[in-house]
Amino acid sequence: MQTRFHHLLSPSIGTQRTLKSLHFGEAGRGEKVYLQASLHADELPGMLVLHHLRPMLEAAEAAGRLRGEIVVVPVANPIGLAQTMMGDHMGRFEFASGENFNRNYPDLAPLIERQIVGKLGTDAKANTALIRSAIREQLAALAARTELESLRLTLMSLAADADVVLDLHCDLEAVLHLYTGTPLWAQCEPLARYTGAHATLLATESGGHPFDEACGQTWWKLAEMFKGRFPIEPACLAVTIELRSENEVTHEQAQADAGRLYAFLVHRGVIADEVPAMPALLQPATPLAGSESIVAPFPGVVSFYKRPGDWVEQGDAIFDVIDPLGDRCETVRSQTAGVLYARESRRYATAGQWMAKVAGRVAFKTGNLLSA
């Protein structure tokens, strides 16, 4: 294993943050896999999972069983990790800009289109190699003006030429679920099985340019741009893995999750080991545009009827909102059938606040599909 340090742009005199990446195996041989944890810095389960995955990768490397390159960034966001206010850790938005750490990653497809036009051929693998090298060049040419931009560029530069990118997050209260690109579902299905995902939410344009989409989207956008002329494969399986609830951080769970990721890497052929039996798929993938965010119609105390992982039918009672001053109590029901995959952890709702999310099978939303 090789360790590399990446110095972020210094935002202020006397301050500089550093990102650390761990490199296993050999670059340029076999597939490249990239894993990072806690881009939303207060979402900690992934850090512990990568802590447990590391000795497994070291053992595989020592035994000569790595057939590719694996890059691990166990702490993807040192900026957010240091942000606390009045005792609360706040790692989702950068204090300096108010921006979400998992939004606004660069859209490389238009830049790469200009660079590769006239150079593509009929060999899909050769096109993949050409596009990967263009990705590296385009990212190297982008200049960061702020610390946050330099964090985004550093992470993208480590990840964007990989065959597999796994971005480990968690939700407030949730069962394990995945977000990925619609064209990637066939490649993602084994990951959904090995990780035991209760939902996989698919989109080609979720809005806001999150990290996984910035890595995966380049490929299907270029495929569309050169459609009918040159073959371009969806060569980067980029997935956001939501590792359940933010407070589910235990050795037992993390060790099991590390084992599940290891099983997927073996299945993928990056590690030479006995391929573990493929578990059943818990739920088919559903469109992100079919996910219903169930909101509180007025402010009040919330009492839930349903838990993460529950299947709900259309019309099922999800929670009550109680206004103790107005003596008002209303039951809020799901408009959609599907798995309730996430819910709010607070029990006081402001008007219009989302309290639960249900993975419906029929797309009904347009525009920005991600919550802030």
Which positions touch Zn ion (CB under 5 A)? 40, 43, 169
**Residue 107: how many other CB atoms lie within 10 Å:** 14
As measured in angstroms, the least distance from the Cβ of 222 to Zn ion is: 27
**Residue 20: how many other CB atoms lie within 10 Å:** 13
Tell me the CB-side half-sphere exposure of residue 334, using CA atoms within 13 A: 26
Estimate the share of the chain in helix, then strand, then coil, as percent rounded to the nearest 5: 30, 30, 40
As measured in angstroms, the least distance from the Cβ of 101 to Zn ion is: 8
The residue (of 115 and 293) whose beta carbon lies closer to Zn ion is: 293
The residue (of 169 and 306) whose beta carbon lies closer to Zn ion is: 169
As measured in angstroms, the least distance from the Cβ of 179 to Zn ion is: 10
Radius of gyration of the chain (CA): 21
CA 89, 92, 97, 102 dihedral sign is positive
Contact 42, 172 (CB under 8 A): no
As measured in angstroms, the least distance from the Cβ of 102 to Zn ion is: 6
At 188, the amino acid letter reads C
As measured in angstroms, the least distance from the Cβ of 181 to Zn ion is: 17
First and final C-alpha spacing in the chain: 37
The residue (of 39 and 222) whose beta carbon lies closer to Zn ion is: 39
The residue (of 31 and 43) whose beta carbon lies closer to Zn ion is: 43
How far, in Å, CA of 221 to CA of 242, rounded?
A: 25
The residue (of 169 and 221) whose beta carbon lies closer to Zn ion is: 169
The residue (of 86 and 372) whose beta carbon lies closer to Zn ion is: 372
As measured in angstroms, the least distance from the Cβ of 225 to Zn ion is: 30
